[in-house]
Structure 1
Amino acid sequence: MTSSDLGDFLRARRARLRPGDVGLASYGRRRVAGLRREEVAVLAGMNSDYYARLEQGRERGPSSQVLDAISAALRMDEAAREHLFRLAGTAPGGDRPQPREAVGAALRQLLDGYTSTPAFVLNPATDLLAANAMAEALFSPFAQRDNLARMTFLDPAARRFFVHPDRAAEAVVAGLRHATGLDPRYPRLLDLVRELGSASADFAGLWSAHTVRGKTYETKELDHPDIGRLSLTFQSFDVRGAPGQQLVVYHAEPESPSARGLTLLARLGNPPATDRPS
């Protein structure tokens, strides 16, 4: 990452806060969206000129104490704080191994073992490296089932498939932002960001907001053309021995309409699990 990346991130985080959000009074007409640099400096307990130099890329190598103060002042959650440290070159893990693009046999067998719920493997660029039959059936409305970000922004089916398409788009971009902080040199991810930034104005706008969030535990509200509405929670797990890979498993509340919908999906006769090229 470059100093301009750090400055862009700080400006975007500053722009989303109002004085009232952080306990400051607001006087007069404001010429900037969100907090002023001087206000962030006061909240962080530092010299305003020093903070300005950080945003402008003229100050390098801020200490952990400075970054902690800035993250607190800008009300960052843990994912955003981690991203800030990595942009500043302070967080450990700068020599992360490049993600693996091939799914091992043992993990494939695990996917095949999920016969009643969708399960798939992603790399940091959200390529679908492998998917079980249920995941293939779940994503069947999309013309190409190869990359979740591309499916979300470039396939018209996404506007119908996601009950809250704007929320789904925001989550995808926040996850990609998180991934770039973890591995800023990953070629596949950089290529994807360039592609989507050129092809989708919606993606470009969300990318410039610098929202950061990793995959954890969330609810997906989906509308499948063959099944109807599905409310699914998902959990993701880092794959040991395969850097960058995440196993994602969707599931429904037992005895719920969504659980019955997954049962129907399983009965429709789906193809076997498949590997995806990177």
Structure 2
Amino acid sequence: MTTTHTSAADGADQSRPRREELRAFLRSRRARVRPEDVGLPGRGLRRTPGLRREEVATLAGIGVSWYTWLEQGRVINVSDSVVESISRVLTLDRAERAYLYQLVGLQPPEDKVVEDAAPMPELRRLVDVWSPYPAYVLDRWWNFIIINRSAQAVFGLRGHGQNCLVSFFTDEKYRSFFANWDTLAPQVVADFRGAAAAYSDDQRFAVIARRLRQESPDFARLWDQHDVRKESNGTKAVLHPVMGEMTFDHLVLHPSSRHDLRVTVHLPREGFTARRRLERLLESHPAPDVLGDPGSEAAGGALTG
């Protein structure tokens, strides 16, 4: 561990509020940890509550002087491993750990998502109350795991277990709902490549792409162009056999605690008139038996193996 010496001209004063907050934060977290909670004797006279600085340093495997400098708010280099060690000793929770990363000037690592975990129950309620506006949730491999009635009625979706990308390129009925399919297709492929890049070690993306290269000449042509983009909002022109043509602006959201999930809601441009048309469509559209079961195979993905 090395100290970084700076002059007043290098902008050190600009980070002073953050360093003062770092000092106060570490002291407050240290004060709340009882020695006996970390295997140290809890008896005896202590001038301050909680752990001593040297105890934190020893338990974290770092130098006492170095930790003292850190808590004093000195400008020093801090590594991810040191933040992790200090977080463990001070028993920081997820939010506190991320905050410590930010205070020392590092990017907090993304929380590891448990694969095949069921979607949050709150998401189901949110997607349902968005009706009559079509909304659904995709997992990281773009399998539909939650779909509201309106999305089923407007896009002809069958229910959970259906893969959005595969249906978009191989299901003629699903494809026929999009009046601007030719415009959407390059964006969809570029979005999927970008999503796959975020999970470079996950071979299930390659399985889906390999299947589609064999089954869809359109996908193979677009995939070979190697276009990539970060998913964004967009517009879908829908040709519905009952409602006729409608234009939706779709908004893509990611829950803060589940970045692997992709929540999409579609807002019609025609406003109140379109809402009434959607409500009438739902009145004539029978409620399905299953809209997506969080405990089903959909949570793990129907096309991930």
User: Residue 152 of structure 1: SS of its match in structure 2?
Assistant: helix
Structure 2 equivalent of residue 274 of structure 1: 292
Confirm or deny that 1:193 pairs with 2:180.
Answer: no
Work out whether residues 132 and 275 of structure 2, in 8 Å CA contact, stay in contact via their aligned partners in 1: no
Equivalent residue letter for 1:274 = G
Counterpart of 2:240 in structure 1 is 224
Aligned pair in 2 of structure 1 residues 146, 241: CA closer, same or farther (>3 Å)? Answer: same
From 170, 173, 179, the counterpart of 1:157 = 173
Q: Structure 1 stretches of 5 or more lacking a match?
A: 1-90
Name the CA distance, whole Å, in 2 between partners of 1:154 and 1:196. 8
Distance in 2, Cα, partners of 1:95 & 1:213: 23
Letter in 1 for 2:121: A
After the TM superposition, which residues 165-176 of structure 1 pair with which residues of structure 2 at under 5 Å, given as runs? Answer: 165-176=181-192
Q: Shift of the alpha carbon at 1:250?
A: 0.5
**What displacement does 1:229 show?**
0.6
1:230-261 deviations in Å (ceiling 9; x for gaps)? 10001011112223101110011354654443
Could you say if the C-alpha distance between residues 126 and 264 of structure 1 is closer, same or farther in structure 2, counting changes exceeding 3 Å?
A: same
Give the gaps of 5 or more residues in structure 2. 1-106
Aligned equivalents of 2:220 and 2:114: distance in 1? 25
* 1:109 aligned counterpart, secondary structure: helix
Q: Give, in angstroms, the shift of residue 197 of structure 1.
A: 1.3
What is the alpha-carbon distance in structure 2 between the residues aligned to residue 202 and residue 143 of structure 1? Answer: 25
Equivalent residue, structure 1, for 2:132: 116
Q: Which amino acid aligns with 2:185?
A: A
Q: Is the 8 A contact 1:100 1:245 kept in 2?
A: no
Equivalent-residue separation in structure 2 for 1:228 and 1:124 (angstroms): 32
C-alpha distance in structure 2 between counterparts of 1:157 and 1:111, whole Å? 24
1:132 partnered with 2:130: no
1:163 Cα offset (Å): 0.6
> What is the one-letter code of the residue matched to 1:135?
A
Q: Write the distance in 1 (CA, Å) between the matches of 2:246 and 2:110.
A: 40
Please say which structure displays the higher CA radius of gyration. Answer: 2
Structure 2 equivalent of residue 60 of structure 1: none
Partner of 1:177: 193
Per the alignment, in what secondary structure is the counterpart of residue 226 of structure 2? coil
Q: 2:220 maps to which residue? A: 204
Letter in 2 for 1:139: F
Contact 2:190 2:229 in 1 (8 A): yes
SS at match of 1:206: helix
Matches within 5 A, 1:29-108: 97=113, 100-108=116-124
Partner amino acid, structure 1, of 2:264: V
Asked whether the 8 Å contact 1:231–1:258 carries over to 2, the reply is no
Q: Report SS of the residue matched to 2:172.
A: coil
Cα gap change, 1:141/1:127 in structure 2, threshold over 3 Å: closer, same or farther?
closer
With normalisation by structure 1, the TM-score equals: 0.60
**For 1:225-244, what aligned pairs fall within 5 Å after superposition?**
225-244=241-260
Query: Shift of the alpha carbon at 1:94?
Result: 9.1
Q: Is the 8 A contact 2:143 2:163 kept in 1?
A: yes
SS in 2 for 1:274: coil
Aligned-residue RMSD, C-alpha: 2.8
Tell whether the 8 Å contact from 1:124 to 1:176 is kept in structure 2 after alignment. no
Partner of 1:39: none
Distance between the aligned counterparts of 1:243 and 1:255, measured in 2? 30
Alignment partner of 1:265 is 2:281: yes
State how far apart, in whole Å, the 2-side matches of 1:249 and 1:187 are.
28
